Structure 1
Amino acid sequence: MNEELTNRMLAVVEVTTARPDRPVYHAKVQVLNSRVVSEAKAGGWSVTRVAAADVTPAELLRRTVDADAVVIVGGEDISPNYYGGTTGYEGETVHFASADEGQIALVQRALALGTPLLGICRGLQIINVALGGTLVQHIDDGIHKNIDVPIDQILSTHDVTLAAGSTIAAVLGGVDISVQSAHHQIVDGLGAGLVAAAHAPDGLIEALEHGSAPIVGVQWHPEAPDSPADQLALLLAGLAAQHDARTRVEARITSALAA
């Protein structure tokens, strides 16, 4: 275990803890979210897990205020009014507007404070929308998720090419990787300060990162049980490295001011 991670707090922020109308989907989401928590704990993080729809946006911010890093995980579509879209589109899911509001505020605070943040699937889309970006509301091509299959078979395996020189390429140790994804929406217009950091074979954006802040989003699911074994651990280690770098800079500034 990395001793530098001792007592570091990671906030894992999901959408909701209850989907009584969709128990099979909820069970799948819980498997994925729980793996983020367990992998983080195995890496030395102390973890607080919060469901954004179960608290007010203000309470979400309060409960994550001491987090050294944040992971926003997957779930339902973002309410279209947050990115100028319309309802009634193909594949539309239930919306949790209060969760959207809270998670958007969380991204904006992370940007302002320099808090390392990782978005997974919906989390990537939250990052983009929070910074003024837009989404393509539906794709249905069989690459980014398996179609017309039981929920346990919905994750599609495909290749992704990471941008050379990107933060995520450095974290994952290469530019050509295999991923598992299950999404029907994608990034359209990029939010302010964001750059595309990975593309699928069809050219669609599969990862993004901020040009100057420690904010990264992946459209795929590194936390899926059949994803490459070290993918999630490396991304969490990347958050730790970003936090450590920020802490060292702050320490140098404090020392200089005290001199």
Structure 2
Amino acid sequence: MSVQPVLAVVEATRLRAHDPAYHDYVQLLVGNVLAEAGAQGWSVDRLAADAGTEALLAATARADAIVIVGGEDIHPGFYGAQTGYPNESRHLPVADAAQLALARAAIERRTPLLGICRGLQIVNVALGGTLVQDLGEECGHVNRGVPIPQVLTTHTVDVAHGSRVADLLGEPTVEVRSAHHQAVDALGDGLVVTARSHDGHVEAVEHRDAPVLAVQWHPEDVHAPEGQLAALLAGLRTPALAAALI
């Protein structure tokens, strides 16, 4: 009898009582990841990084693959910058430190990892990269001044030929749903840019050696193209995991 593979789905926090609308929408997005993972045969551990680094590394030690989902801005101290930038969100430095450590551990262990939105930024910063702190008021990657369920925008990204994300999504140009005001600036060590947006910003990165893929957009949004989340989650399967998930 085969053992069901374990997927760790890691949030920054489960507690956003200060902003119920944002909390509810995050629960919807994460819920879509959980549902798709379950449909694909994963046993899912839903974890919050604000429990701290030691707790998160221990909780993910048995994971066969990891997803780091979206959330608040990473504290700029982790990439050598300052607070006080436009459209700054609250910061969760305990969760930041834990997710950064997790990303580095996953690369060291060669554990398949998918980063989504903040998850891409975590991977980049974990490997010494930096972030553009704010893309400006008219950046086209987030809608401002609207109810939370309407903050996501639709735009296209150009995917690099021969990349893993191209193999998974099967298109040279992909429509995506985004809600971010930050982006990759300096690229982290070992990473390769494999998709860019219509305005040139980094939209996907992959690790040269480890099974790590991260996207700046939200494939788990309800209005994302059908099958996009499923394809990216399927990309976490190694040959052994694929056999166990059948």
Alignment counterpart, residue 77 of structure 1, candidates 69, 73, 80: 73
Alignment counterpart, residue 28 of structure 2, candidates 27, 31, 45: 31
Q: 1: distance between equivalents of 2:7 and 2:53? A: 18
Question: Aligned residue for 2:211?
Answer: 214
Amino acid at match of 1:229: E
Give 1:14 deviation, angstroms. 0.3
Does residue 224 of the first structure (1) align with residue 189 of the second (2)? no
RMSD, aligned α-carbons: 1.6
Question: Aligned residue for 2:107?
Answer: 111
Conservation of the 8 A alpha-carbon contact between 1:179 and 1:221: yes
Does residue 162 of the first structure (1) align with residue 159 of the second (2)? yes
Give 1:174 deviation, angstroms. 1.9
Question: Aligned residue for 1:251?
Answer: none
Does residue 59 of the first structure (1) align with residue 62 of the second (2)? no
Structure with bigger helix share is 1
Q: 2: distance between equivalents of 1:51 and 1:122? A: 14
Does residue 129 of the first structure (1) align with residue 125 of the second (2)? yes
Amino acid at match of 1:127: V
| Structure-2-length-normalised TM-score | 0.95
Q: 2: distance between equivalents of 1:243 and 1:223? A: 25
Structure 2 residue matching 1:239: 3-state secondary structure: coil
State the Cα deviation string for residues 109-146 of structure 1 (Å, max 9, x = none): 01111000000000000000000000000013241111
In the superposition, relative to structure 1, how do residues 129 and 85 fare at CA in structure 2: closer, same or farther (>3 Å)?
A: same
Tell which deviates more after alignment, 137-146 or 175-184.
137-146
Structure 2 residue matching 1:58: 3-state secondary structure: helix
In the superposition, relative to structure 1, how do residues 152 and 201 fare at CA in structure 2: closer, same or farther (>3 Å)?
A: same
State the Cα deviation string for residues 219-249 of structure 1 (Å, max 9, x = none): 000000110110000001100147648x9xx
Corresponding pairs, count: 242
**Residue ranges of structure 1 left out of the alignment (5+ in a row):** 248-259
Structure 1 residue matching 2:58: 3-state secondary structure: helix
Q: 2: distance between equivalents of 1:58 and 1:151? A: 33
Q: 1: distance between equivalents of 2:187 and 2:33? A: 26
Q: 1: distance between equivalents of 2:158 and 2:49? A: 32
Question: Aligned residue for 1:205?
Answer: 202
Amino acid at match of 1:37: L
Q: 1: distance between equivalents of 2:198 and 2:89? A: 26
The percentage of aligned residue pairs carrying the same residue is: 53
Q: 2: distance between equivalents of 1:63 and 1:241? A: 21
Conservation of the 8 A alpha-carbon contact between 2:112 and 2:236: yes
Which protein, 1 or 2, shows the higher relative CO under an 8 Å CA cutoff with sep ≥ 6? 2
In the superposition, relative to structure 1, how do residues 145 and 243 fare at CA in structure 2: closer, same or farther (>3 Å)?
A: farther
